[in-house]
């Protein structure tokens, strides 16, 4: 049985980041170069700017492990 929530996925994502940032002052985002992790990185970046994390002393790092098996287009995207 499905249970519908009163918030959409984007709102739930923002609430989860609020919760995480209340406990941690350094977030590490894992980035593969794929569309899902690219979207995650973009959403965290938007949240970072709109919630003024810099003034709150919250740091964000990006972790990427190069397996040397990516397409050149993926490497170009990652380096942007």
Q: How far apart are CA 31 and CA 39, in angstroms?
A: 10
Q: How far apart are CA 50 and CA 9, in angstroms?
A: 18
pLDDT band at 39 (very low <50, low <70, confident <90, very high): very high
| pTM (whole model) above 0.85 | no
Average pLDDT over residues 7-36: 91
Q: How far apart are CA 65 and CA 19, in angstroms?
A: 27
Residue range 61-73, pLDDT digits in tens: 999 877 777 778 8
Residue 17: predicted pLDDT: 92
Query: Are 9 and 2 spatial neighbours (Cβ–Cβ below 8 Å)?
Result: no
Q: How far apart are CA 19 and CA 33, in angstroms?
A: 26
Residue ranges of alpha helices (H) inside 1-80 are 9-23, 35-50, 53-56, 72-79
């Amino acid at each position: 049985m499905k249970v519908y929530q009163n918030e959409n996925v984007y709102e739930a994502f923002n609430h989860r980041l609020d919760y995480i940032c209340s406990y941690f002052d350094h977030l590490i985002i894992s980035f593969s170069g794929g569309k899902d992790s690219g979207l995650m990185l973009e959403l965290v970046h938007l949240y970072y700017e709109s919630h003024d994390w810099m003034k709150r002393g919250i740091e964000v790092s990006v972790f990427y492990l190069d397996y040397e098996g990516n397409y050149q287009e993926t490497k170009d995207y990652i380096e942007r």
